[in-house]
Amino acid sequence: MILKKGIAFLLITSMLVSCSALQNTNNKQRGGAIGAAGGALIGGILGNNLGNKKNSALGSILGGVIGGAAGVYIGNKMDKQAEAIRTAVPGAEVTRVGEGINVTFDETSGIHFNTNEATVDEQTKTTLLKLAAIFKEYPDSNILVEGHTDSDGSEAYNLELSRKRANAISNHLQGLGVPADRFTTKWYGEVQPKYSNDTAEGKSKNRRVELAVVANETLKKQAKAATK
DSSP 8-58: HHHHHHHHHHTHHHHTTS-HHHHHHHHHHTTHHHHHHHHHHHT-GGG--HH
Distance CA(169)–CA(205), nearest Å, equals 17
Q: Which residues pair with 104 in a beta bridge?
A: 93, 210
pLDDT in tens, 178-207: 999 999 999 999 999 999 999 999 998 899
Cβ neighbours of 202 (radius 10 Å): 15
pLDDT of residue 24 exceeding 90, the answer is: no
- Are 165 and 190 in contact, with CB atoms under 8 Å apart? no
**Residue range of the domain that includes 152:** 2-226
Distance CA(178)–CA(170), nearest Å, equals 9
DSSP 186-213: EE-TTSS-SS-TTSHHHHHHHS-EEEEE
pLDDT in tens, 76-108: 999 999 999 999 999 899 999 999 999 999 878
CATH classification of the domain holding 184: 3.30.1330.60
| Nearest alpha carbon to residue 163 among 142, 137, 186 | 186
Distance CA(144)–CA(120), nearest Å, equals 18
- Are 140 and 179 in contact, with CB atoms under 8 Å apart? no
pLDDT of residue 215 exceeding 90, the answer is: yes
Average pLDDT score over residue span 22-39? 40
Number of structural domains (the chain) is 1
Burial of 191 (0-12, 13-18, 19+ CB in 10 A): middle
Mean pLDDT (the chain, rounded): 80
pTM of this structure: 0.77
- Are 145 and 192 in contact, with CB atoms under 8 Å apart? no
